Amino acid sequence: MHCIQSSRFVSAALRLGLFILAIIFTSGFFANSVFAQDTAGVGITPAMINERLDPGEVRQFTVQLTNLSTVDKTFHISTRDIVGANERVPIFARPTSQRTGYELSEWITLDRTEVFIPAAGTEELSFVMSVPMSASPGSHFGGVIISVEPPEIEESGASIGYEVANIIHIRISGEANDAARIREFSTSRFIYGKTEVEFTARVENEGNTLVTPTGPLEIFNMFGEQVAVLQFNESLAGVYPKTPYSDGMNTFSLVWQDDGLGFGRYEAILSLVYGDEGRKNTISSTLSFWILPMNIILPAVAVLLTLLIIVYVAVRLYIRRSLAVFAAGSTRRLVRTRQPNQFPILLLFITMLTVTALFLIVLLLLFA
């Protein structure tokens, strides 16, 4: 009887434990689901504002905010400067950031600093850009920041939320410095086995404006014929100026693929155009690379090696026979001169064939 009661007690305790675990698991699951939905984020359109303004000009802009989560939210709105870029990712200023001369957040006046957006809803936000008369010519960068926490909490580093921003680029009229250069233009390899070449160009901004380099990448074969023209930087990505937080460089990649059979030495010419309308600047760079398909090179090398081996063996045999004739005396030499001997003719033919093959390869290298 005691054993039966103990068994019932254990069974009841086991069921209770499983029930508690189920509640904990279910609670955790729903908590995680709500958190995942709650942090789905917010969208801002347009993602970039790119305008040209004059000193003293005032202009109004409108952006659209979208609550991407399934929870109603109140978002906080603020402005911030961009102090540089890490390749194509902008670096937004912090309270401790030093000034770079490219600021514009102080020119922006928001119509509100908070906005309530229902789940999956949208709301328009307007702001006014007032350019001071003392604004320096060239580019200025900033953004409108949308966050789930007030700006003071975001800046303190204690925030657990998220923030989204657009990019605002305002070019102020005047004598700006548009200057850039191609710091590096290269391919991933010098020799390719097929027509699939990856180009990399690193452009450096040496001025005080946003540089958007674009232009053709022309490819020529060893006979000087143009075999391809590719468009460089089709997405119109920019290169930010140099600041204490940015090296003023951006790396671009481009791949040339062709179904045709490529062979020999190729030359690539990159010609980029950048600058303000009416005052375009051009920079260019050239490189060479090789395409040597193994299905052609390996048989050719095999044939050449075979010819060299044949010539080597034939020369050794000829030398041995010549020495044997010389050792046999004058009688043997007289008899041999009367008999037709085609061995030297065959040796001469093979030697000429090998020399011709070597000459063609050297000519190809020199010509290419």
- Dihedrals phi, psi of 302, to nearest 5 degrees: -65, -45
CA distances to 41, 60, 119 from 74, rounded to whole Å, are 12, 24, 10
How much is the pLDDT for 361?
61
Angle CA 197–202–203, to nearest 5: 135
How much is the pLDDT for 150?
84
Calpha distance 286→221 (Å, rounded): 13
How much is the pLDDT for 310?
75
Token pair 């009661």 is found at 5
How much is the pLDDT for 295?
62
Token pair 């209770």 is found at 16
**CA-based nearest residue to 108, from 86, 77, 87:** 77
Please report which helix (H) or strand (E) contains residue 29, including its range. Answer: helix 2-38
pLDDT in tens, the chain (368 residues): 444 444 454 455 445 443 333 333 333 322 333 333 344 589 999 999 999 999 999 999 999 999 998 999 999 999 999 999 987 789 999 888 999 999 999 999 999 999 999 999 999 999 999 999 999 999 999 999 999 888 765 554 444 457 899 999 999 999 999 999 999 999 999 999 889 999 999 999 999 999 999 999 999 999 999 999 999 999 999 999 999 999 999 999 999 999 888 888 999 999 999 998 778 999 999 999 999 886 666 666 677 777 778 777 777 777 777 777 667 655 555 444 444 555 566 666 666 777 776 666 655 554 44
Cβ count near 76 (within 10 Å): 19
Q: How many residues are there in the chain?
A: 368
DSSP-derived secondary structure letter, 135: P
Cis check for the bond before 46: say yes or no (omega within 30 of 0).
yes
CA distances to 209, 213, 229 from 269, rounded to whole Å, are 25, 15, 10
The distance from CA 365 to its chain's CA centroid, rounded to whole angstroms, is 32
Token pair 């001025």 is found at 207
* SS3 sequence of 297-325: HHHHHHHHHHHHHHHHHHHHHHHHHHHHH
**Residue pair 270/285 in contact by the 8 Å Cβ criterion:** yes
